[in-house]
Amino acid sequence: MMLLRNSIPRICIALGLTDGGRLLEHARREADAGERFLEFRLDYLPSPEAGPDLIRKFLKAYPDCWVLATCRRHQNHGRFNGSIEEQLQILTAAIEAGARAVDIEIETAEAAKGRVRELEGRAVVVISYHNYEGTPAMEPVMRRMAKVPADAYKVVTTARKPSDNLRVLSLSKSFPKSKLVLLAMSETGFPSRVLSMVMGGLYTYATPSAAEGTAAGQVCARQMRQMYRADKLSKNCKYYGVIADPVRHSISPAVHNRALQAKRVDGLYLPFLVAPLQLKDFFVLAEKLPLQGFSVTIPHKQRILRYLDAVDPLSKRIGAVNTVWRKAGKWRGTNTDAAGVRVPLEKRTRLGNKSVLVVGNGGAARSAAFTLADAGAQVTVTGRNPDRVRALAKACGGTPVMPEAAEKADYDIVVHATPVGMWPHGDECFFAERVPGELVFDLVYTPARTKLLAMAEAQGRTVVPGIEMFVEQALAQFELFTGVAGPRAVMEKAAREAIEEQQGRQGA
């Protein structure tokens, strides 16, 4: 198996289906789409013994495909209820049916070293370790694994915090990379699935295009290839990202990765799920990876200030940052939301002396309030937390008002800057019945047409969709991250496509 690193495909489609017919259907669909490496989870089948025949049927039609056969026992978080001997008999039959690789969990391999050794030379033997509770110290795990000879070793943990990605990936520095498959499950661990490829991992896993995956944090192969270029990234690529909670809805990876490709920048932009109390841990990951820069969104725009070395004056006044980048070894922060709010409005009206209602009191609302006040607008602030509304209004020289009174008043412009109406709660709206502005700007961009915008249009208002704010602030971020002007048309198109795809998934 000396040529394993060059011969095995880089992305494995994990097929875990409980019906043999559907398993074949999905396998054929993926093969027809050009995928050449498929994992058949035989333990998902009602009769795993029937799995080898399914492999034989599939490979008869697609002989150039690699099939990885897995039959994990229920004691090891699989679904197979048979003995170790029965498990190995099924995997042996899978090899005889044409499977080029088998995945054997470490518990089975330790208990049946002789039987596992019999498979050497007949197929690629992958010994796997899974931890569904967390990410322990990795060196003891690898020492345990190395006691069982194999062609490759798969170490899969569960990421509970951002730095867990680094912990599992650190094995690539102390063990032959060409023999390792490293990743962390959970949405927090998603970056490891892409980064392991950059760091020389043997392959990674993805979901089929029209079925659920077999582990938390997987994405489909199309995203792996097109959005993240997981199979084409160089070892010298630079890392960027977005931190948020939740982060799955963010279209930033789709937009920034498309821009990096368009400008031929050797870089990768990843989503990082960072819980409110995990910012300090995230910076451990950011320092060691290292990240060159990252976008910041809900709920971190204000709290992140304490972790930065330098912040520009306007962002200090706003008290919120949405963009962080590294320069001369220091973390610097700014707020490109300001331009994201101001520029789309200035395309439609002059802001001086206009009455503006800013809805919200978080990072985006603060950006809007200070930016518009600096532009000469008369700012009024409303929201559902009276104390925070009064504090923001005082800070920006505006007027506080409660939601009920705001809805009855009249303003030239309304800027909505709360998460109300954001995916997956698209049926919600801050205003109960009446939208009190002639020009209505909703900073929420997913969905593209929020309930607020629909209500405003029905009431004869002029509306500005959140995608305009998103693109404007993303352009400024891209230039700060890379030193290259962002491709506006490319980024706007990518944003619209990402929102449409997201809405399509919601409607499916």
Active site residues: 301
What torsion do the CA atoms of 419, 420, 421, 426 make, to the nearest 10 degrees? 100
Whole-number Å distance between alpha carbons of 475 and 336 = 9
Whole-number Å distance between alpha carbons of 357 and 194 = 43
DSSP per residue, 216-279: TT--BHHIIIIIS-TTT--TT-EEEEEEESS-TT--HHHHHHHHHHHTT--EEEEEEE--TT-H
Kindly tell me the burial class for residue 388, based on how many C-beta atoms sit within 10 Å of its own C-beta (0-12, 13-18, 19 or more).
Answer: middle
Instruction: Report how far Cα 300 is from the mean position of its chain's Cα atoms.
Output: 17
Spatial contact of 276 and 297, defined as CB atoms under 8 Å apart: no
CA-based Rg of the chain, rounded to a whole angstrom? 26
Q: What is the 3-state secondary structure (H, E, C) of 384-450?
A: CCHHHHHHHHHHHCCEECCHHHHHHCCEEEEEECCCCCCCCCCCCCCCCCCCCEEEEEECCCCCCCC
Sign of CA dihedral 28, 32, 33, 36: positive
Q: Can you state the angle between helices 84-96 and 51-61, rounded to 10 degrees?
A: 20
Whole-number Å distance between alpha carbons of 47 and 82 = 11
Whole-number Å distance between alpha carbons of 333 and 463 = 30
- Furthest-apart CA atoms within the chain: distance in Å: 83
SS3 206: strand
Amino acid sitting at position 23 = L
Whole-number Å distance between alpha carbons of 287 and 361 = 31
Residue 468, token pair as written in the block: 């305009």
Q: Are β-strands 330-334 and 323-327 bridged in parallel, bridged antiparallel, or unpaired?
A: antiparallel
Whole-number Å distance between alpha carbons of 322 and 337 = 7
What DSSP designation does 305 have?
G
Whole-number Å distance between alpha carbons of 412 and 223 = 42
SS3 184: strand
User: How many other CB atoms are found less than 10 A from the CB of residue 276?
Assistant: 10
b/e map 20-58, b = 16+ CB within 10 Å = beebbebbeebbeeebbbbbbbbbbbeebeebbebbbbb
